[in-house]
Structure 1
């Protein structure tokens, strides 16, 4: 489903400029050959970059929305204009995929900076950029490089939080005295195995994986098979284009296998896992397979995941600029 918004009135366009921090507008005309040539690239950019109330991609038919086109001096089709806080800041005239890709590459960097300056609020209401363990010297928290919308969980209890809670910037409710109503964690469903696919915005150098798991401690009245527990064995697979099946992951050689013990978990319920750094250079995705959990429980619980390392060049832009590049560019 397209994320691009079709503008049907000047008022709608004006409202969007107020509601979204960044707006990218494609002024086009039907049956215009240059407009049609660049339309697939624009849709690809929209799918990759759009974010609610932050970055909105729109299409403006210059033939039916003449007032909007005139207001921004659109005389060539297609014309692409980037608006920030309601003001036009960049403009590309004509079907020039290389220039459009370069502008959106800069736009992605700006969006990442906004994300880092405004960490996501937590279900517990703390709104902080919480981590359960210190950062290794010389490395940064690069969790924001995860493409949350394309991430996928398999064998997860749908009654609890979705994949997005794992990357929430706030302190887990279990550490804040919460009553569990927030449901800001995930649990496995039919057995203790979980499969998590994480695609990235950038090529990453991954140094450390921080996993927080906070199963309830007062389980006296609970069946041991029903009470969730922490993961014990985890397999990591790098650079996979999609999620793996459980049978496939069982048989496939992993990039790294992790065996956790009780001593690996700190007072914040976080395991600070150092990775074989040489094996996690220039990766564009990670599959995390929880093979089993502690004890005899048939459920595994995850509260937070943090990726620590270095972020490199934007992966999507590397792909996009190959589409329609002019010779020599």
Structure 2
């Protein structure tokens, strides 16, 4: 069991957490439920990355052991995930479908930011349930479509887990802290490279999209610099390895100049629009850092463009089990 997940042993304990924690995410499961076991590692991974003491709490509730709680919230399908804010249910996902749980993750990320002190500053771009912070203005006629990122499938290679946060902080809705002091992996809201200055970021999308601009926010520090040379690869089914990227023709190659960074530490990178018309994924390869630095830092990544209709996601053969009578 992840240390970030609390196992509920009584109704009083659960009621207490609903009162003490701003956000609570509950996994209602049963020990006899195969799909519950299948999705459990996904839930625990999310909890490890997004759980915050007294702010965002992840719990598991055995419906056989806690029948009163299951009855109170009308749990009929295993597993069922409930999202609470200030003790009130605001979202429900039924079944062991990682794609459905993905939609809850986006909501959790927003609620986690709200629990930490309110919505981010800045403008525009809609995310599930609230505004996204943008470090630069949006091109006329286009919107922030970062909420179409499949957060659970994002992947970052060569990240220093000890010095910074995980890949999901790059798509967090709020304004980055810009802090420079070393923090634990669970507290930092930026990422840094590990063994050298290169990073490889895989961004899968829930929709086919037209990408117009890539916005990157990077607060340079003494230990980590801003990215300089970036290569983009469209529609890869998976993340590229560093050797594979070197041998693959990039869809676009960009050198970010010092003058491209604004006072919000954000660079707006215009894309060759004709090459980014039907995008299902994007790989961002940070090849080098400014001034030949040995480490590079990323705080936020925003996708600007137009999102199409969400693709029909593949369904599991059995997404859940009915609770026995």
TM range (shorter): 0.5 to 0.7
Q: Distance in 1 between matches of 2:254 and 2:269?
A: 8
Q: Distance in 1 between matches of 2:44 and 2:56?
A: 14
TM-score, with normalisation over the residues of structure 1? Answer: 0.63
| Cα deviation code 1:138-186 (max 9, x no counterpart) | 222233444556544333455643345544532563xxxx7x4377655
Q: Distance in 2 between matches of 1:109 and 1:158?
A: 21
Contact 1:49 1:108 in 2 (8 A): no
* Equivalent residue in structure 2 for 1:198, among 203, 222, 240: 203
Corresponding residue of 1:128: 121
Q: 1:295 to 1:87 in 2, by over 3 A?
A: closer
Q: State yes or no: 1:153 paired with 2:153.
A: no
Q: 1:234 to 1:106 in 2, by over 3 A?
A: closer
Partner of 1:12: helix, strand, or coil?
Answer: helix
Q: State yes or no: 1:235 paired with 2:235.
A: no
Contact 2:35 2:79 in 1 (8 A): no
Corresponding residue of 1:181: 181
Q: 1:41 to 1:270 in 2, by over 3 A?
A: same
Q: Distance in 1 between matches of 2:316 and 2:36?
A: 15
Return the offset for 1:261: 3.6
Corresponding residue of 1:10: 11
Return the offset for 1:265: 3.7
Bigger-Rg structure (1/2) = 1
Gaps of 5+ in 1: 217-225
Matches within 5 A, 1:223-262: 229-262=225-258
Return the offset for 1:134: 0.9
* Equivalent residue in structure 1 for 2:141, among 138, 141, 162: 138
TM-score, with normalisation over the residues of structure 2? Answer: 0.64
Q: Distance in 1 between matches of 2:249 and 2:22?
A: 45
Aligned length: 295
Q: 1:48 to 1:207 in 2, by over 3 A?
A: farther
Corresponding residue of 2:212: 207
Return the offset for 1:258: 1.8
* Equivalent residue in structure 2 for 1:60, among 59, 62, 80: 62
* Equivalent residue in structure 2 for 1:39, among 27, 36, 39: 36
Q: Distance in 2 between matches of 1:4 and 1:202?
A: 31
* Equivalent residue in structure 2 for 1:318, among 291, 313, 317: 313
Return the offset for 1:236: 1.1
Partner of 1:286: helix, strand, or coil?
Answer: strand
Partner of 1:318: helix, strand, or coil?
Answer: coil
Corresponding residue of 1:162: 165
Contact 1:198 1:285 in 2 (8 A): yes
CA RMSD in angstroms, aligned pairs only: 4.9
Q: Distance in 1 between matches of 2:46 and 2:297?
A: 31
Q: Distance in 2 between matches of 1:234 and 1:139?
A: 23
Corresponding residue of 1:26: 28
| Cα deviation code 1:297-319 (max 9, x no counterpart) | 4444444432222445567x823
